[in-house]
Chain A
């Protein structure tokens, strides 16, 4: 048995029964990383010695009846999330030497259970990208076909789970950065409702959209990790107390928004796989499928690429080489900033800083940022309508519980294919950006593979704080 191939639940049971130890399980993951990392590059840092020490401690916990759900289970963390006393580069050279003196709340919650932190995942620098080609530590390769990208920005997280280099990973999703790579790599990835999981200790990109969530091998595993990391945190003022809203109704009402199937560049094979899945769901007596319309869908990407760079350009201001990170050689104060940032950021980070600086500059604020924030309201109202009363008559004035869509219009593209076509790259997020802009939870679950063997993900979008319903439906996929 290859221990690294197990799920969280299988690991937990095996550790409990004494079938294997956490040290053995951790070693199996470390061996897999050693064998694969040079080629597919899912990790920026691997903490071999520390992980084995943590595993030994976990084994002691288990031996003395102190086992919790995640005790002894090796996990990885996107490098743009701070882990105490461990290198956290965020995928950018400006933090190449950065050892975080503090830790993200969600990671502390996981580690307090005795989970084993095995390493930090490669990612597009500070979350800027949709293919992991914007990491300054090289692109991540898709384990299903190494000529293809992993997706991004949490590409290393998705690949490390798909390729069994760890049991689960924690990533971030601002506009699709968990769901899109999960879809490309054939794993489960959840973007929680904005405010459900604390972002304290996450390197921020767009503060009004950033979320942090799990990437796992199964839906059950995803629900386990989500339960552990969620909840109000005094250190993140946007977090809310959560309660589970499972559907007590006999039937889940599931809407299929037609706009999500007609976007430009929609791959026919992907469309067929998702429609097939929906048809199958429709045969389930506990599910009722109905068509709905979300006419504002096409505006999510332009809104996203104004709101995100605007917030981003100010968030990136903290990375200036003054208090931490890598300082470039300089003569003047201006050079200190300008050269450290020039050398420490990849192309996409610079591009977004420039777009944001322009959109917020005098004379343009109303035309760009303010306009985008208004359209954002209309996108939210679009969703509110289908969750309460989609177009009146057909549904009898009752809203849908959930929406199902493809996660991405196409499977993983080739490394280099879209790197220089920035609009094409931005549009890769066309089906994941709307829920993000509206602050809604959404999951990507594997729905099948193309003839060439590339995974296709199905996205389930829920109403705010209704993750439980998402898990209910995801269990049927």
Chain B
């Protein structure tokens, strides 16, 4: 499985990662190596085998869907971490403008 730098660029865009030209070339090679390597799984017959999605055997672990108030001190700590803010509000870019 050979990936081209263009394919790598497309994946990087989906993943929201900016890559340099050098990185694109490097990852094209390395991802191809990894994808070739995992081909080894095709020699295993998995017809009729169920997927393992979890290993605990637990089923339907639920909790009541209710609002749990966060204390003022914690709220302040969370807000303090905002990279950009206006008062207590998190400031973000407009999502419909400038989309690449």
Contacts and interface: CB of A to CB of B under 8 A. Distances in A.
19 contacts: A194-B56, A302-B37, A325-B83, A326-B83, A331-B98, A332-B97, A333-B95, A338-B17, A341-B18, A342-B17, A350-B19, A350-B27, A355-B31, A358-B31, A358-B35, A361-B14, A368-B38, A371-B46, A375-B44
A208 interface: yes
Given A101-B81, A240-B56, A321-B83, A351 B30 contact: yes
B52 A380 contact: yes
Contacts of A238: 54, 56, 58, 61
Interface string B32-49: 011101101110101001
A422 B53 contact: no
Given A98-B81, A333-B98, A351-B30, A339 B18 contact: yes
A16 interface: no
A334 B93 CA distance: 9
Contact of A351 (B14, B27, B56, B61): B27
Nearest to B30: A422
A413 interface: no
Contacts of B77: 85, 99, 101
A67 interface: no
A287 interface: no
Nearest to B91: A322
Interface in A369-393: 370-378, 380
B39 to A, nearest CB: 8
Interface residues of A, number: 66
Contacts of B52: 373-374, 376-377, 380
A357 interface: yes
Interface string B66-100: 00000000100110111110000010111101111
B16 A337 contact: yes
A174 interface: no
Given A208-B54, A358-B31, 11 more contacts: A194-B55, A237-B58, A237-B61, A303-B41, A322-B92, A323-B90, A333-B92, A337-B16, A345-B17, A374-B52, A378-B44
Nearest to A327: B83
Mostly helix, strand, loop or mixed at chain A's interface? helix
Interface of A: 85, 98-99, 101-102, 194-195, 208, 234, 237-238, 240, 296, 298-299, 302-303, 305-306, 313, 320-327, 330-339, 341-342, 345, 350-351, 353-355, 357-358, 361, 368, 370-378, 380, 422-423, 426, 438-439, 464
A377 B51 contact: yes
Contacts of A326: 83
Contact of B99 (A305, A332, A345): A332
A324 B81 contact: yes
Interface string B1-45: 001000010011011111100010001001101110110111010
A324 B41 contact: no
Contacts of B61: 237-238
A377 B54 CA distance: 10
B65 interface: no
Given A324-B83, A354-B11, A378-B46, A334 B41 contact: no
Given A332-B93, A334-B100, A376-B51, A322 B15 contact: no
Nearest to B20: A342
A306 B99 contact: no
A194 B81 CA distance: 31
Contacts of A327: 83-84
A353 B15 contact: yes
A99 B81 contact: yes
Contacts of B94: 333
A284 to B, nearest CB: 31
B58 A240 contact: yes
A333 B40 contact: no
